[in-house]
Amino acid sequence: MTAPEPRVPGDRELNRFLELFAEKTGMVFPERKRPKLARDLVLAASKTGFTDLAAFRETLEGTPTDHPVWTEVIEILRVGETYFFRDDSQISALTEHVIPDILERRKNSRQVRLWSAGCATGEEPYSLAILLLEQLAGSGEDWDVSILATDIHSRGLETARQGRFRKWSFRNAPERLLNRYFVRHGEDFEVQDRVKQMVHFTSFNMMDDRQPAPAGAMGLDLILWRNMAIYFHPGAISRVARRLSGSLARGGWLLVSPAEAGSFSLDGELHCVLPEAAAYRKEDLEEPVPAAPGIPPRIPVPVLHSPSAEPFPNGWEPGSASKEKEAAGTPPPPPAFDQGLDRLRKGLYEEALTHLGRVDKGHPRRAEALGKAALALANLGRHQEAEKFCALALDADPLLSEARYIQALVRLEQGLDAEAREDLKKALYLNPKFVLAHWTLADLARRRGLPEEAARHRELALDLARNLDPGQELCGAVSLTAGRLLALAGENGSWAKAGGTA
């Protein structure tokens, strides 16, 4: 007799799983994926030998993701789409700028170290190896090139090590490279041994801070971290970006996919130097890296996924929308508010909610606490609750421009650009000096193909930021200072004085 399958999880149980996945893997999921995820979870649990979903979740919670108990779950969560020589603009940037720069800088040691972080089934690191071999033609044997290739998905790594691919993987590959670096087996193509030998595959979860960085992940010349951050929540993106930056040599390169450009920023450490290819460089103190002019970096915006079945998060009670008004002047925040803000800055959103929920209903900073809670919820991907909290904050204080701004961010994430624009305008009406409202309107105008309007909002944002203390945190952001915004916009001088953390 076969063991009974677990029941499909309800909203609340599914939310618990999704929070666990966000925490352990960084991945978050759009609303439309929930029904399929719920069904797939049942299958994953049953294939792993569990008949009770709660027990399955508890086991996952206490187990690192490279343990077999996670295998089926990773299988249903990950998106493994990849192919050889993916993204023409990035391949050109690698061929024309990045690899020649690395070879020039390493011409004495003749040692090159690269990392494909999130390599899926291996097409990306093998493409990199081939691009290097092409550039080293004639002198390749004198060079020591090593490419580390990691992924959380161990089954994908098995395919990668075998190095045998279907024709579909070569949909963007020039025929001449196929002939030069692969051996044909019927319909399949196998990477030649000299290419295989350059790449070292190993399992690694980018979100696991307890796991030491894989061997060879220090002093790197180039990291490809492409098409992973698009599935991550903002806190995870910042964490991984920081980790990767730490693994780069000075002057080293980091390439993300163009869709991911601007989704993180690192204290003037990494500069986007080839914006069309989403190529960043690590600051080299001896040779300062110029920042790319012109593009407003995206301020990390909430990623959106599941609504929670619980009407209010822990620590919050319904009925908090009392009509409290701010007293004249800004009263000092209560300790719970400061603790909440501290957790928010550290990306500990659940904890932030608990602390902010302790801000007394009668306290004049209660409305602000509701607004910050909305920001925490949005960062957790709980956008319906985030919207609800924006509404509560505005109910408590209709003049709270920050709540309008956060509402705009949530709407932007839902693709409601027109509504978001209205919110941003309202935020500016309430607070004409709202730097990030102008900044976000600049981004929206650029996306709508209105360069003059974009330039006007951008200049207004920068002018306002220049008039602030560089270390001042900007309204509506977590830990983004005026100085850092100016640095992101290419005004590096200001960043030197800015202080502050990401």
Distance of closest approach, residue 262 Cβ to ligand SAM, in angstroms = 17
H runs (alpha helix) in 349-491:
349-356, 366-379, 383-396, 401-413, 417-430, 435-447, 451-466, 482-488
Residue 370 near residue 392, CB atoms below 8 Å: yes
CA 358 remoteness from chain centre: 30
Cβ 256 to ligand SAM shortest distance, Å:
9
- Compare residues 34 and 233 and give the one whose CB is closer to ligand SAM: 233
Out of 15, 46, 169, 227, the only residue in the binding site for ligand SAM (CB under 6 A) is 227
**Which amino acid, 109?**
S
- Rounded CA separation 400/393 (Å): 7
- Residue among 34, 57, 113, 226 that touches ligand SAM (CB under 6 A): 226
Stretch that binds ligand SAM, among 52-60, 168-176, 222-230, 493-501 (CB under 6 A): 222-230
Number of neighbouring beta carbons within 10 Å of residue 428: 19
Q: Which is nearer to ligand SAM, 27 or 277 (CB)?
A: 27
148 touches ligand SAM (CB under 6 A): no
26 binds ligand SAM (CB under 6 A): yes
Which residue number, 226 or 281, has a Cβ lying nearer to ligand SAM? Answer: 226
Site string for ligand SAM, 228-267 (x = CB under 6 A): x---------------------------------------
- 221, 105 in Cβ contact below 8 A? yes
Q: Binding ligand SAM by CB under 6 A: which of 34, 57, 113, 153?
A: 153
Burial of 142 (0-12, 13-18, 19+ CB in 10 A): exposed
Q: Does 78 bind ligand SAM (CB under 6 A)?
A: yes
Strand partners for 113: 146
Toward ligand SAM, which CB reaches closer, 118 or 313?
Answer: 118
Closest CA to 326 of 264, 279, 371: 371
Query: Cβ 412 to ligand SAM, closest distance in Å?
Result: 23
* Min dist. Cβ of residue 206 to ligand SAM (A): 4
Select 230 or 273, whichever has its Cβ closest to ligand SAM: 230
User: If 0-12 CB within 10 Å is exposed, 13-18 middle and 19+ buried, where does residue 327 land?
Assistant: exposed
**Angle, vertex CA 305, rays to CA 207 and CA 259, nearest 5:** 65
Which residues lie near ligand SAM (CB under 6 A)? 25-27, 78-82, 86, 118-120, 124, 151-153, 156, 205-207, 226-228
